[in-house]
Amino acid sequence: MGSSLISAVFLVNFSVVLASKQPNIVFILADDFGWYDVSYHSSEIRTPNLDKLSAAGVRLENYYVQPLCTPSRTQLMTGRYQIHMGMQHELIWPCQPNCVPLDEKMLPQLMKEAGYATHMVGKWHLGLYKKDCLPTRRGFDSYFGFLSGAADYFTHSRCWEIPAGPNKTFCGLDLRDGEEVATGYDDVYATELFSQKATSVIEKHNPNKPLFLYVAMQAVHAPLQVPERYLTPYSFIEDNDRRLFAGMVASMDEAVGNITSSLQQAGLWDNTVLVFSTDNGGQPGFGGSNWPLRGRKWSLWEGGVRGVGFVASPLLKKPGTVSRELMHVSDWLPTFVGLAGGSTDGTKPLDGFNMWNAISNGFASPRLELLHNIDPLYIDGRVVVCPGAGRKLTLAQMVSGDSWPNSGFNVSIHAAIRSSNWKLLTGYPGCDLWFPRPGHTTSEKMEPLKSVMLFDIEKDPEERDELSALFPTVVEYLLGRLQEYQKSAVPIIFPDEDPKCDPSPDGAWGLWA
């Protein structure tokens, strides 16, 4: 046998061996999926595929995400807190000339360097105004989906009015295949379309190369739309929004089952790590529920940031368990790159931790602290209306109490930090209601908020017993930690919206710069 042929055979065999050691990684991200929206949290909504996968895997019951879509996706893709990228305020709106800073190295780039095929299906929401911001320029070999968010599930179009601009509503198609506008998918329900595209990626995948597949569902984000067949089992739900939402959950659950079956049929499942996560808490105004947690999406209360999540894999050392170890969405990047045998040397300093030993073996989490956010622009003097509260208060009325003048941290700032069992909130954390369990009503008395609030989250996950007066030393320590984080924060990047975003010239959103 010639030396060149021997070398070729060796390289092929080596690549097969390497691929067999590197697990396939599939990450499925739901949108606005609340704590009480999965049936293993005793919801009235049935999620048989999520229940089955999570029961045989590891359920993450002390897992945190960000209270909004762009921030969670940003930290998933970079392993870094949003304050370290200028992304700490709100999200990327359709007409903002903004995206995750281009000098941030993203997860798919690191996976490619480790030898992975990298594919994305679904909602991007990390910038769309120029080509350098697109998924295919940030490490993905292929992409199919929505560049923004809240598109119509059937027409795949999105309308948006610039609040302080030309007072004009812009409408256009928001669906891309790679970098090109994707047409010909009219009336194909988005959740089913994304499921089909994801299974197609799996079916076409070369098993000699490890796979990284990111499936970012728009489900179950508004608009509340779903084919009629998914509503039939939920005729008992009287609230129309909750009934529609339940049907959307059923469709998403089915999609997760289809993706899992596709992995099994392709012979990839035995060497796959599948992760399911929400991007933020549920939105009660659009059918979601975080009961019994306090707050909702957009807030720093547990209802906004404690996420439904689990890991399913034949590679887990202790399957069928529940993990209560502290974990954050920023931990996935170092965890996945570690599993891939890759390197994070090319990134900026990470805020995430490799959690595989905590997930797979049940070891203690390396994470002892978690910054939820620091957003100085959140409090701006506007009147805040909390849906369903039956009250309309100014921020000055909402936030009262001690100012903790010696802390060095401005406690009027919207911020929160978790350390061990303690959680500290400052400023106005967002809507502070305990929304009732779906199908029920409540008339809880709401106490005035304080500018500094402390909770023992391990004992009090519903955030009912405010303890700052009893533990001033803990408060001062955590305010000091917030001050240290604030010193490391970079200036907020939140540009004005640009009327040149108007998609009407070619009928599609994106790429106007």
The amino acid sitting at 317 is K
Cα 177 to chain centroid, rounded: 22
What whole-number distance in Å separates Cα of residue 74 and Cα of residue 459?
30
Active-site residue identified among 41, 69, 95, 501: 69
Number of Cα atoms under 13 Å in the Cβ half of residue 483: 14
- To the query of whether residue 125 is one of the catalytic residues in this protein, the response is yes
For tokens 């329900």, what's the residue?
189
Q: Is 328 helix (H, G, I), strand (E, B) or coil?
A: strand
Contact 209, 15 (CB under 8 A): yes
Cα 325 to chain centroid, rounded: 19
Q: Left (φ > 0), alpha (ψ -120 to 50) or beta: where does 20 sit?
A: alpha
* Closest by CA position to 274, among listed 262, 289, 291, 282: 262
Q: What is the DSSP string of 258-321?
A: HHHHHHHHTT-GGGEEEEEEESS---GGGT---TTSS--TTSSSHHHHB--EEEE-TT-SS-SE
In a 10 Å sphere around its CB, with 0-12 CB exposed, 13-18 middle and 19+ buried, how is residue 445 labelled? exposed
Which residues are bridge partners to 122 per DSSP?
216
- To the query of whether residue 69 is one of the catalytic residues in this protein, the response is yes
Which residues are bridge partners to 275 per DSSP?
27, 311
Q: Left (φ > 0), alpha (ψ -120 to 50) or beta: where does 511 sit?
A: left
Active-site residue identified among 41, 84, 125, 328: 125
What whole-number distance in Å separates Cα of residue 38 and Cα of residue 59?
12
For tokens 């929206």, what's the residue?
37
What whole-number distance in Å separates Cα of residue 45 and Cα of residue 219?
15
Dihedral over alpha carbons 106, 108, 112, 118 (to 10 degrees)? -160
Catalytic residue positions, numbered: 69, 125
